[in-house]
Amino acid sequence: MDDKKKKTKISSGRRAFLKSGFLAGSAAALTGIGLNALADDDNHTSDKVKVMTSDGKVVEVDSGTVEKAHSCGMKNPTRKEVREGIPGRKFVMVVDLARCRNALKCQESCNKNHYITGHNAWLKVYNMKESQDTAPYWMPMMCQHCDEPACVTVCPVDATFKRRDGIVLIDNEQCIGCRFCMAACPYSARVFNWNEPDQKELVGKDIEYSPEHAGAPSVKGTVDKCDFCPHMIRMGELPHCVSSCPNDVFLFGDAYEDTVTNGSGKSYQLSKLLKDKSGYRYMDGLGTQPSVFYLPPVDRSDKFEDGLDDYNEFQSVTKP
Amino acid sequence: MRAFIYTIILGFCTIILSPQLQAKEKARLSVNYNKVMGENGFLLINAKYKIKKKYQPVTNLKLNIYEEISEDSVAYKGQVITDNSGSAKFIINTETVISDKVLVFKYLVRIEDDDKFKDIEKSESFYNVILIAEAIEKDSVHYISAKLTDGLGNPLEGEKLQVLLQRLFAPLSVGKSNYKTDSDGSIFVAIEDPLPGIDGMLTFEVVLDSRNYGNIKKIFNAPIGKLVTDQSTFEERTMWSPPSKTPLFLWIFPNIVILGIWIVIVVLISNLFKIYKSNKQTNKL
Amino acid sequence: MTKYEELVSELAPRKFNKIGVVWTIGLVVVVIIGVIAYIDQIIKGQIVTNMRDYVLWGVYISNFVFFVAISFVGSLTAAILRLTNKTWRTPLVRIAEIIAFSAIIMAGITIVLDMGRPDRLLNLFLYARLQSPITWDVIIISTYIAISALILYFPLLPDLAILKKHFKSNAFLSKWYGILSLKWSGSSMQWALQKKSIKTVALLIIPVALILQTVDAWLFSTTYRIGWDSTNLGPYFIAGAMVVGVGSLIAVMFVLRKAYSLEKYITKLHFDKLGQLLVFTCLVYLYFNINEYLLPAFTAPKAEEIHLQELFTGHYAPMFWFVTIGGLIIPILILIFPKGRKPLPLFIVAILVVVTSWWKRYLIVVPALLHPFLPIQGVPESWHHYFPSLHEWAIISGTLAMALLIITILIRYLPIIPIHRTAKEMGILPNGKSKES
């Protein structure tokens, strides 16, 4: 007994760029739905795996239907997909400095899931104090995935690249180790593998390297940095730092969707969040156009001093 | 006297012979009725147990599902097994079960005769409801309109409905955190800010989460989103593009200069060959 | 013996005496030690250096910049001074060209030593991105190597023909001089070609050399780093290259003059002229130094101030003042006076200039890396400092020795002073005339 109300039809304009994507997307969406139907048909539960269809939508399918070739259980994307990125998305991160208390769970999770065994973590929580009279605060800093990346501009061999979805990745099999990108980055975001990385967790594992999962494995004589976890995004999951933070400091999402989600699973409208909390970008004046927004450390949830216990000025990677 | 001794012996044996009973863990079950309108509803079951002060999921646990037909009769409905995260789903086909009289459904989930866990039972009862929702445009403002009725079509007033927009990682709340249904069982939510969506298509969820009715969702698409345009510089020729998209001024001018210089170098080298070839008879220096 | 024959026998390359042999063997030993250290670096990775994530470029890069700077001397003497049309530079031209050629080759080799993955060298050509300053550097260095070789070779042709005749008793040498002289017979056509080619290459080498120094500077000034991000850096490097180029020319010239008793050809006048040139280049360089270091102190933003303080009064102060005073002020003060431009004092000043120039490039590369925008945190304490490791010293010593070795070998087999041209200028050519126009 539904009340039938007139639905007004709003014609969607044609956008050339997304037209082919839409066609591919409908096909993929149908496939996705098809897979979904398959998955939900019977009553025994089986392990579900989230996969991203080629048009950037996430569906859940039986893990048995997906070929495993990657340490996360996903089939590696093609070189073109790696270089172009996930279509129709632009990934951004928001870091709420009002909530950071240097718990360092983000760093632990990043180090663990990227098998970081050097002396320099990719995600560091800085003890920041702009000047003598201003208040100190904790600032998580990682690769900003700039929209005008200085590192990509100076790479002579196209080993680091900027994708359509905003993510900047490194191809460790093409890098010649000149370290010009490290010299160019103003955020000190990159690290170098000065020797053969001692990644014990990867010993014996047959993992196919993909730039989308940096550090698996790390390559001697090349650079590494935060990758915004595309291997997690393709599974519909948030990056490790976001999901492991006990205080919901990080939010991550698609700027085109105007939505970011924190580790607890709560979503916010990005533009509204930045407007209400006066979000900014670090060293915006340099013109690199970073994709990471910071919310100022106002109305702090915790005292700065509480984080000093875990602060080690000379260590960011714990050795076993 | 004999009876007394037999009782003691029986009790003793029970205690000795049932170390399993004592060693059996106590599992905690949570059962929730979930339904997405247009699909079959299901019981979402989660089993966990406490070990070393932390909760761990119970995997591979057989659970028997019963439906309570009347106060003293239950019908066995089937069995499910929990997965790696301790969850299991049992699909209930309420469409075929609707009748004018029976409005309440009660299901029982039991652990029975399990080696590791004690027998327990958890029940979940729910009323069948119908939730409809759609997007409407009125005076060039978009609204989400939803109506909640029971299985017989009577409106349900005062229930909290959430309006959510599906997004990549987790849904985004539209408007307030929840809206109460009016005497008509309806809510009418205005969409103030334009919401972007691929191809302008948005997928909304209107969710009722209540103890009486379970977790009911109505998912629907509405082409009322703001079109998303690719603002990346990926297609452009920039200083940070791959070699295939080098900026034109870098292609043209440096290459002209380099080519010019190297043409001269090649000419000079050819002069060396000319000198070599032009060995004339005279040996005068 | 005619005057001409006397000239030839004086200027023809001679066998090394004991000192020469010891010198050469010494250089070879240093090179071998460097190669061993480099092999160790390949095996273990660049962890054997003291470079880490913050000081990501160290002496390998500063050494590379040093070599590029020295290579400027070829264009300076062979081309720029050529515009003045003075004949006093004739004895110096070949030495300068040899130094330049050796330096630019070593620059190309030195930069490969800094690569983390030298096995992927070809990627620089297969996947080259024109947007990258390193690609510009690869192109311009290759170009300069070709041009330096040409500007060395063309003027050599007549001399090689002379040497072929001079060494006719030595079958091996005679044969090879003959081959390398490209059957030079002195015909008018050959002269015309040679003259035109030299004119062309001398003209071409000037812009190429200027581009080379500028692109080298742009490796630093295309970044955001304080101390590197300077609009001054291009001309600054050009001026610096002139200083170290002239300094190294004077130093080598002095040694060769003594070793081969060339006082007749390389006279006090030459030292005086080069001394004047060195003063001039030092003054220009001083001007650029004032612009680079003194002026920012006027309204220094915080980050600049920290950088300048490090150099003026901080950790790098001793090195900075040694380089500035020893490498600029003292040379200027000494060389303004004619007495200071006598061969021996000039030689000492030139050595000082070359040594301080090497440390100057160290000061350009390293301090800026130790104050990035974000504080250095989360890394071991040793990463807050840098001094080259033994491996780095061994490897760069190997490169410096190799550069000297190349110069030594070329000096051994090529006439240091252009024979034909000197003879022509002295008017003592055989037959009184030649087909040379």
Which residue of chain C has the CA closest to A318? C378
End-to-end CA distance of chain A: 65
Q: pLDDT class for B19, splitting at 50, 70, 90? A: low
Q: How many beta-carbon pairs under 8 angstroms link A with B?
A: 138
Q: Output the pLDDT for position A15.
A: 41
Q: Calculate helix-pair angle for C268-289, C90-113, nearest 10 degrees.
A: 40
DSSP state of C72: H
Selected residue of B239, B252, B275 to mutate for chain C interface (largest C Cβ count, 10 A) = B275
Rounded mean pLDDT, C415-425:
90
For residue B110, is pLDDT > 80?
yes
In a domain, C419, yes or no: yes
Rounded mean pLDDT, C122-147:
96
Paired sense of beta strands B226-227 and B196-197, if any: parallel
**Per residue in A152-185, pLDDT tens?**
999 999 999 999 999 999 999 999 999 999 999 9
Cβ–Cβ below 8 Å for B89 and A8? no
Cβ–Cβ below 8 Å for A164 and B145? no
Which residue of chain B has the CA closest to C159? B285
Q: Degrees (nearest 5) of the Cα angle C137, C139, C145?
A: 95
Tell which C residues from 121 to 150 touch B, by Cβ distance under 8 Å: 127-131, 136, 139, 143, 146-147, 150
% pLDDT > 70, chain C: 99
Smallest CA-to-CA distance from A121 within A132, A131, A110, A130 is with A110
Which of A128, A180, A188 is closest, CB to CB, to C372? Answer: A188
Q: Taking all residues of chain A, what is their mean pLDDT, rounded to a whole number?
A: 83
Q: Write down the residue that tokens 């062979």 correspond to.
A: C78
Q: pLDDT class for C6, splitting at 50, 70, 90? A: confident
DSSP state of A280: B
A207-216, B49-58, C21-30: least confident range: B49-58
* Three-class secondary structure of residue C209 per DSSP: helix
State the Rg of chain B over Cα.
37
**Per residue in B32-71, pLDDT tens?**
999 898 888 888 999 988 888 888 888 888 889 888 887 7
Rounded mean pLDDT, B238-263:
95
Q: Residue C114: list chain A partners with CB under 8 A.
A: 178-179
Q: CATH no. for residue C172?
A: 1.20.1630.10
CA atoms within 13 A on the CB side of B149: 12
A4 φψ region: left (φ > 0), alpha (ψ -120 to 50), beta (else): beta
Cβ–Cβ below 8 Å for C134 and A192? no
Q: Give the Cα separation of C292 and C288 in Å (integer).
A: 6
Where do the domains of chain A lie, and which CATH numbers do they carry? Answer: 2-65 (no CATH), 79-310 (3.30.70.20)
Q: pLDDT class for C336, splitting at 50, 70, 90? A: very high
B84-93, C20-29, C396-405: least confident range: B84-93
Selected residue of C75, C140, C179, C182 to mutate for chain B interface (largest B Cβ count, 10 A) = C182
Return the number of other C-beta atoms located less than 10 Å from residue A217's C-beta.
20
Higher pLDDT, A116 or B92: A116
Which of C53, C126, C379 is closest, CB to CB, to A314? Answer: C379
Q: Is C44 on the interface with A (CB under 8 A)?
A: yes
Q: Output the pLDDT for position A260.
A: 97
Which of B240, B271, B284 is closest, CB to CB, to C434? Answer: B284
A1-10, A83-92, C271-280: least confident range: A1-10
Where do the domains of chain B lie, and which CATH numbers do they carry? Answer: 23-127 (2.60.40.1940), 129-228 (2.60.40.730)
**Chain C nearest C-alpha distance from B19 (Å):** 54
Smallest CA-to-CA distance from C243 within C269, C205, C213, C204 is with C213
Q: Is B176 on the interface with A (CB under 8 A)?
A: no
Smallest CA-to-CA distance from C213 within C61, C420, C91, C71 is with C71
Selected residue of B136, B174, B198 to mutate for chain A interface (largest A Cβ count, 10 A) = B198
For residue B100, is pLDDT > 70?
no
How far is C-alpha A49 from the geometric centre of its chain's CA atoms? 19
Smallest CA-to-CA distance from B162 within B148, B150, B175 is with B175
Helices (H), A44-84: 79-84
Structure tokens of C98? 């040899």
Cβ–Cβ below 8 Å for A154 and C374? no
Q: Taking all residues of chain C, what is their mean pLDDT, rounded to a whole number?
A: 93
Q: Output the pLDDT for position A258.
A: 93
**Per residue in C65-118, pLDDT tens?**
999 999 999 998 888 888 887 888 889 999 999 999 999 999 999 999 999 999
DSSP state of A72: T
Q: Give the Cα separation of A109 and A113 in Å (integer).
A: 6
**Per residue in B165-198, pLDDT tens?**
999 999 999 988 889 999 998 999 998 888 898 8
CA distances from A95 to A48, A108, A142, A169, C251 (A): 31, 17, 11, 21, 59
In a domain, C239, yes or no: yes
Selected residue of C40, C56, C386 to mutate for chain A interface (largest A Cβ count, 10 A) = C56
Cβ–Cβ below 8 Å for C182 and B276? yes
Q: Give the Cα separation of A22 and A15 in Å (integer).
A: 10
Helix (H) or strand (E) holding A23: helix A16-40
Beta carbons of C204 and C147 less than 8 angstroms apart: yes
Which of C131, C185, C189 is closest, CB to CB, to B246? Answer: C131
Q: Give the Cα separation of A192 and B285 in Å (integer).
A: 60
Residue C397, domain extent: 3-426
Q: Give the Cα separation of C143 and C126 in Å (integer).
A: 18
Q: Residue A159: list chain C partners with CB under 8 A.
A: 123, 127
**Chain B: touching chains (3 or more CB pairs < 8 Å):** A, C
Q: Give the Cα separation of A51 and C300 in Å (integer).
A: 54
Q: Residue A237: list chain B partners with CB under 8 A.
A: 169
The residues, ordered by sequence, that sit 6+ positions from C255 with a Cβ below 8 Å of its Cβ are none
Structure tokens of C294? 């003194």
Q: pLDDT class for C5, splitting at 50, 70, 90? A: confident
CA A58, A60, A65, A68 torsion-angle sign: positive
Helices (H), B122-247: none
Q: Give the Cα separation of A71 and A75 in Å (integer).
A: 9
**Per residue in C343-393, pLDDT tens?**
999 999 999 999 999 999 999 999 999 999 999 999 999 999 999 999 999
Higher pLDDT, B263 or B138: B263
Beta carbons of A161 and A225 less than 8 angstroms apart: no
In a domain, C436, yes or no: no
Q: Output the pLDDT for position B99.
A: 54
A37-46, B36-45, B100-109, C33-42: least confident range: A37-46
Q: Output the pLDDT for position A60.
A: 66
**Per residue in A236-266, pLDDT tens?**
999 999 999 999 999 999 999 999 999 999 9
Q: Output the pLDDT for position A58.
A: 66
CA atoms within 13 A on the CB side of C66: 26
Q: Residue C189: list chain B partners with CB under 8 A.
A: 278, 280
Q: Give the Cα separation of C278 and C280 in Å (integer).
A: 5
**Per residue in A65-99, pLDDT tens?**
544 334 444 567 888 999 999 988 999 999 999 99
In a domain, C371, yes or no: yes
Q: Taking all residues of chain B, what is their mean pLDDT, rounded to a whole number?
A: 85
How far is C-alpha C355 from the geometric centre of its chain's CA atoms? 12
In a domain, C433, yes or no: no
Q: Output the pLDDT for position B282.
A: 47
DSSP state of B117: B
Tell which C residues from 135 to 164 touch A, by Cβ distance under 8 Å: 135, 138
DSSP state of B233: S
DSSP state of B213: T
Q: How many beta-carbon pairs under 8 angstroms link B with C?
A: 90
Q: Give the Cα separation of A55 and B198 in Å (integer).
A: 10
Smallest CA-to-CA distance from B88 within B45, B122, B59 is with B45
Q: pLDDT class for C296, splitting at 50, 70, 90? A: confident
Q: Residue B196: list chain A partners with CB under 8 A.
A: 256-258
**Chain C nearest C-alpha distance from B266 (Å):** 10
**Chain C nearest C-alpha distance from A298 (Å):** 21
Structure tokens of A314? 């000379």
**Per residue in A43-53, pLDDT tens?**
444 455 666 66
Tell which C residues from 92 to 121 touch A, by Cβ distance under 8 Å: 114-118, 120-121
Cβ–Cβ below 8 Å for B261 and C162? no
Q: Give the Cα separation of C381 and C185 in Å (integer).
A: 68
How far is C-alpha A8 from the geometric centre of its chain's CA atoms? 39
The pTM of the full predicted model, rounded to 2 decimals, is 0.87
Beta carbons of C239 and C284 less than 8 angstroms apart: yes
Q: Give the Cα separation of B184 and B155 in Å (integer).
A: 6
CA distances from B219 to B141, B144, B165, B203, B206 (A): 21, 12, 9, 7, 7
Structure tokens of C396? 């760069």
Q: Give the Cα separation of B214 and B208 in Å (integer).
A: 8
Return the number of other C-beta atoms located less than 10 Å from residue C279's C-beta.
21
Q: Output the pLDDT for position C46.
A: 96
Beta carbons of C209 and C322 less than 8 angstroms apart: no
Question: What is the tally of structural domains in chain C?
Answer: 1
Q: Give the Cα separation of C154 and C158 in Å (integer).
A: 8
**Per residue in C198-232, pLDDT tens?**
999 999 999 999 999 999 999 999 999 999 999 99
For residue A64, is pLDDT > 60?
no
